[in-house]
């Protein structure tokens, strides 16, 4: 899975560069640089303990729904730390390869392969996994496109789940 994500990101990076007449690479334009800083600020603020009010300005659409879902996640996983491994921005679209660390301190409602959710009791374990986010940026907010891939299997193993419920 890591190889597939890496290849996808490399291809994305290759598509984001162009060459000058002398063959040197052209850097990202000012808008993409501002969007990169915007996203880095978001990642920093959502990783903080007082994240809820800080991230509202970044969100569009069902802001309260997102806050509710993320609050449930944060009740299960404390000390959340997100770090950007790779970030590709092209126009209004972006893809970020993220490293995630957290401590499992509360009941986690895991949903696996479209099956019913399963409550996972707190393990008090520090766990790590990776995610890839695909999203669009409209103005200074996340747009309507949002999708992500997560290393659910790695997370399940670290939480001690031995089989997926059927």
Give the chain's residues under pLDDT 70. 1-28, 110-118, 163-166
Say whether pTM exceeds 0.85.
no
pLDDT, position 102: 95
Spell out the domain ranges in the chain.
2-16+28-158
Counting Cβ atoms within 10 Å, is residue 141 exposed (0-12), middle (13-18) or buried (19+)?
middle
Query: Which of 99, 58, 57 is CA-nearest to residue 80?
Result: 99
CATH 3.40.50.1370 at 2-16+28-158, yes or no: no
Digit-coded pLDDT (tens) for 70-108: 999 999 999 999 999 999 999 899 999 999 999 999 988
Q: CA 106: distance to chain centroid?
A: 21
For tokens 């996808």, the residue is 8
Q: Taken in order 35, 59, 134, 78, is the CA torsion positive or negative? A: positive
> What tokens does 108 get?
């986690």
Nearest CA-CA partner of 9 in 134, 99, 141, 143: 134
- Residue 18: the pLDDT is 46
């Amino acid at each position: 899975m890591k190889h597939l994500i890496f290849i996808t990101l490399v291809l994305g990076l290759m598509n984001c560069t162009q060459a000058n007449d002398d063959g040197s690479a052209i850097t990202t334009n000012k808008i993409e640089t501002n969007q990169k800083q915007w996203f880095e600020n978001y990642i920093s603020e959502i990783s903080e303990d007082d994240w809820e009010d800080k991230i509202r300005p970044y969100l569009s659409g069902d802001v309260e729904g997102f806050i509710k879902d993320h609050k449930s996640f944060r009740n299960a996983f404390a000390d959340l730390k997100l770090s950007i491994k790779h970030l590709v921005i092209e126009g209004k679209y972006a893809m970020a390869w993220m490293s995630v660390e957290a401590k499992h301190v509360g009941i986690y409602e895991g949903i696996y392969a479209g099956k019913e959710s399963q409550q996972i009791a707190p393990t008090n374990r520090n766990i790590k996994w990776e995610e890839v986010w695909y999203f669009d940026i409209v103005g200074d907010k996340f747009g309507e496109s949002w999708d992500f891939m997560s290393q659910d299997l790695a997370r399940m193993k670290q939480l001690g789940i031995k089989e997926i419920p059927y």
